[in-house]
Amino acid sequence: MGFPGELGLVVGGTMSSFEGQMVEYPTISIDRFDRENLRARAYFLSHCHKDHMKGLRAPTLKRRLECSLKVFLYCSPVTKELLLTNPKYKFWEKRIISIEIETPTQISLVDEASGEQEEIVVTLLPAGHCPGSVMFLFQGNNGTVLYTGDFRLAKGEAARMELLHSGGRVKDIQSVYLDTTFCDPRFYQIPSRGECLSGILELVRSWITRSPYHVVWLNCKAAYGYEYLFTNLSEELGVQAEEYFQWNKLPCGMISKNKIPLHTISIKPSTMWFGERTRKTNVIVRTGESSYRACFSFHSSFSEIKDFLSYICPVNAYPNVIPVGTTMDKVKEILKPLCRSSQSTEPKYKPLGKLKRAKTIHLDSEEEDDLFDDSLPVPLKHKVPYQLTLHPEVFSMTALPQNQSKKLRQGTRCCKAESMPSSFLANFIDCEESNSESEEELEIPQSLQGDLGPANLPQQNADVEVPRWEVFFKRNEDITDEGLENFPSSTETAGSQSPKLFSDSDGESTHISSQNSSQSTHITEQGSQGSDSQFDTVLLSSQERNTGDFTSLNKGAYIPKLKENIPASQMEQNVLCPKDTHSDLKSSDIRDEEVSIIPNVGEPTTQSDGKHISEEKRLLNLSTHADSQSSSDFEIPSTPEAEQPKQEHLQYLYAKLATGESIVIEKRKHSLLDN
DNA sequence: GCGATCAGCT
DNA sequence: CACAGCTGATCGC
């Protein structure tokens, strides 16, 4: 039971059919923590999305952990942070070992009953799905296998991953456990991140530059993964990314102090796909007078999957997911021709199966154009798998991530409404009530739309104090009028409620020419689409703001000022011991590589200096681990056209993301798109 | 009261 | 345009 293919367990939608275990290494479990997996010798979490965490906080596993002191959960540093942000996973704290990206690391898999032991080397590769998301490459006595988790990698990205290679060629991979979410010709192509970003960027720009009262609601669905969008929009537009995370609530009565209504459009990121021969158009679709859908995908398209898999060319490929409307068998049939046996009897060394250099990233480049251009010697940034390993026969001794300040661990997502002062709650309405299947323009509560639309919301009680704009920039205990003082007192209110670029369209496809590339962005109009969700929300507006005035509201709850004291016992440090890596492993691929070793101890040792870790130091510390991490989030998967966010910037954002603190983004001196 | 499962929703 | 995740009902412990 539990092996791929035996049971196509698909229940409604693209539920993961991967049950946690791989054929080759059945004593470890990945992304599943229930049933058979309760017996695993080691656990792996590819990223912090709930559907990959089934059973992770179940009492049964918790008990197991208490008895089996050698069982650990391995994941990327960012995933560890994100996971421990939720107090419900706090009990994992001392049992999570984060592994740096692109750092082959040996792990001992011990059966505590028999004492039986097996060595395995795991390498985390950036998956481009969400912050911290990784693929796991396992090497051991049963061959090399790759578990992709959820991933989105552009065409050719596998060819640039050094650690998928050995001796200049792709490693001999026995099996790939593959994210097949869009593994169906229907989903042949999905616009690249860059294309999606520039479409969204232009839409947002065209709206928010109209007046300080024109704002955009980025109506995102839950959890992590949109950070790429937020950071890039912030960078390009030089605006504050204000977060209005209030469970399922939206700020209501968003009227500026001087009674000028705010004009809001909603942009809902969602996946759009196109057939093989379909022209990729319509990255933005207008779904109502002031609502849009924007293309955005966390998962590889069919063609991206094909490119990835055919490059890896494993012996076997197992789908982790069965897309809606298809079957396990059909997906396997699609994957089979991309695997080794069906190619030829010869080992397949295709011309492309050669490590590519890192790609230069610049805004105007056409994606993939320079993929195989070896003429530009670009230093490998971030990807530093061998940095620790200058002496081929010496095992690196790397302390695993430590000093993870508890400031990052405060609950941000779990608190319920009762923890919220009622005065604060009064400033929000439940967005759900604004939704209606039958009406077209209901995504935005009327109170958000200024003079727009019919009153389709439960209106605020007229007796209730009208919530004010500045409320949403301040923590509730500190609301003053300052929040508005820098606002221009514009009287320019909405004329058309749609960006001019689109408003002339009369229902026809509207063409927006992109300012910064030869590629153009298309926007189509679309009839009513149901109502929008009421999940995570980010608003953008164009005001120049005093950064001191703004504090984001955390998604999960209002976060009180955090105590600075960090008990010494909470600081952990894992000390690594040297060990003969090669002795137990026959895989030739890993003999040439430097391997970090996870000590086979009952528990990671605890640092006891008890020193307070200053914010600066903590960030600095994070930055030292940053290369690989940001590589995960931005380098491999990032838009070729986009400028890479800076390390410090990313670390700052992630730290804030984890704490729910305000995100203040410095306006860039020069936006690449400004000219 | 908690968890698992499912329907429904977005 | 379909991912990720919530709410609420129901059942069992």
* Strand pairing category for A169-170 and A165-166: antiparallel
pLDDT computed for residue A311 by the predictor:
98
Q: For residue A587, what pLDDT band results from cuts at 50, 70 and 90?
A: low
Dist. CA A578–CA A379, nearest whole Å: 30
Dist. CA A220–CA A293, nearest whole Å: 10
Dihedral sign for Cα atoms in the order A562, A567, A568, A572: negative
pLDDT computed for residue A534 by the predictor:
33
- Could you write out the DSSP letters of every residue in A32-69? B-SGGGGG-SEEE-----GGG-BTTT-HHHHHHHHH-T
Amino acid symbol at A602: G
- A382: tokens are 């971030």
Dist. CA A400–CA A598, nearest whole Å: 9
* Longest Cα separation, chain A: 79
% residues pLDDT > 90 (chain A): 41
Q: Confirm if A640 and A192 have CB atoms less than 8 A apart.
A: yes
Number of DSSP helices (H) and strands (E) in chain A, helices first: 13, 23
pLDDT computed for residue A282 by the predictor:
85
pLDDT computed for residue A75 by the predictor:
98
Distance in Å, residue A414 CA to nucleotide C12 C1': 26
Q: Which of A660, A296, A343, A268 is nearest to A475 (CA)?
A: A660
Dist. CA A525–CA A511, nearest whole Å: 11
Distance in Å, residue A54 CA to nucleotide C10 C1': 21
pLDDT computed for residue A430 by the predictor:
32
Whether any strand B atom is under 7 angstroms from the Cβ of A437: the reply reads yes
Distance in Å, residue A11 CA to nucleotide C8 C1': 19
Q: For residue A326, what pLDDT band results from cuts at 50, 70 and 90?
A: very high
Comparing every residue's Cα with the C1' atom of nucleotide C5, the nearest one is A222
- A12: tokens are 């409604």
Assign residue A613 a region (left: φ > 0; alpha: ψ between -120 and 50; beta: otherwise): beta
Kindly tell me if the per-residue pLDDT of A644 is higher than 60.
Answer: no
pLDDT computed for residue A84 by the predictor:
97
Q: Which residue has the higher pLDDT, A424 or A244?
A: A244
Secondary structure of residue A335 in the 3-state scheme:
helix
- pLDDT, average across residues A573-586: 39
pLDDT in tens, A19-47: 999 999 999 999 999 999 999 999 999 99
CA distances to A15, A64, A561 from A107, rounded to whole Å, are 30, 19, 39
Kindly tell me if the per-residue pLDDT of A622 is higher than 70.
Answer: no
Dist. CA A99–CA A43, nearest whole Å: 13
Q: In strand B, which positions have an atom below 7 A from any protein CB?
A: 3-4, 6-7, 9-10
Q: Confirm if A33 and A43 have CB atoms less than 8 A apart.
A: yes
Strand B-contacting residues in A 200-229, CB cut-off 7 angstroms: 221
Whether any strand C atom is under 7 angstroms from the Cβ of A248: the reply reads yes
Give the nearest nucleotide to A179, CA to C1': C3
Dist. CA A92–CA A316, nearest whole Å: 33
Give the nearest nucleotide to A60, CA to C1': B3
**Cβ contacts of A237 within 8 Å, gap of 6 or more:** A201, A204, A205, A208, A540, A542, A671
Q: Confirm if A245 and A217 have CB atoms less than 8 A apart.
A: no
Distance in Å, residue A59 CA to nucleotide B1 C1': 14
Cβ count within 10 A of residue A447: 24
* Strand pairing category for A263-270 and A291-295: parallel
What percent of the residues of chain A are helix, what percent strand, and what percent coil, each to the nearest 5? 25, 20, 55
Q: Which residue has the higher pLDDT, A344 or A307?
A: A307
Give the nearest nucleotide to A530, CA to C1': B10
Amino acid symbol at A371: L
Strand C-contacting residues in A 268-307, CB cut-off 7 angstroms: 270-274, 285, 293, 298-299
Distance in Å, residue A25 CA to nucleotide B2 C1': 34
Distance in Å, residue A53 CA to nucleotide B8 C1': 22
Whether any strand C atom is under 7 angstroms from the Cβ of A555: the reply reads no
**Cβ contacts of A465 within 8 Å, gap of 6 or more:** A426
Give the nearest nucleotide to A435, CA to C1': B10
Whether any strand B atom is under 7 angstroms from the Cβ of A418: the reply reads no
Distance in Å, residue A42 CA to nucleotide B8 C1': 36
- A31: tokens are 């992304």
Secondary structure of residue A634 in the 3-state scheme:
helix
Give the nearest nucleotide to A531, CA to C1': B10
pLDDT in tens, A170-226: 999 999 999 999 999 999 999 999 999 999 999 999 999 999 888 898 999 867 999
Distance in Å, residue A270 CA to nucleotide C1 C1': 8
Distance in Å, residue A422 CA to nucleotide C9 C1': 28
pLDDT computed for residue A590 by the predictor:
74
pLDDT in tens, A227-259: 999 999 989 998 757 543 333 344 455 666 566
- pLDDT, average across residues A640-667: 42
Dist. CA A193–CA A228, nearest whole Å: 9
Residue A43: strand pairing partners: A29, A73
- pLDDT, average across residues A41-60: 97
Dist. CA A473–CA A24, nearest whole Å: 52
Distance in Å, residue A583 CA to nucleotide B2 C1': 48
- A334: tokens are 């699609």
Task: Report residue A258 CA to chain centroid gap.
Answer: 38
Mean pLDDT across chain A, nearest whole number? 64
SS (H, E, C) A547-607: HHHCCCECCCCCCCCCCCCCCHHHCECCCCCCCCCHHHCCCHHHHCCCCEECCCCCCCCEC
Full-model pTM: 0.66
Cβ count within 10 A of residue A195: 20
Distance in Å, residue A667 CA to nucleotide B7 C1': 46
pLDDT in tens, A209-223: 999 888 898 999 867
- A135: tokens are 């693929």
Give the nearest nucleotide to A268, CA to C1': B10
Q: Confirm if A652 and A619 have CB atoms less than 8 A apart.
A: yes
Give the nearest nucleotide to A324, CA to C1': C2
* Strand pairing category for A214-219 and A537-541: antiparallel
Q: Which of A103, A114, A50, A35 is nearest to A74 (CA)?
A: A103
Phi and psi at residue A91, to the nearest 5°? -65, -15
pLDDT in tens, A391-415: 222 122 222 222 233 333 333 333 2
pLDDT computed for residue A342 by the predictor:
73
* Strand pairing category for A143-147 and A428-430: unpaired
Q: Which of A207, A188, A223, A210 is nearest to A294 (CA)?
A: A207
Q: In strand C, which positions have an atom below 7 A from any protein CB?
A: 1-7
Distance in Å, residue A268 CA to nucleotide C12 C1': 39
Whether any strand C atom is under 7 angstroms from the Cβ of A654: the reply reads no
- pLDDT, average across residues A502-513: 34
Secondary structure of residue A372 in the 3-state scheme:
coil
Comparing every residue's Cα with the C1' atom of nucleotide B5, the nearest one is A11
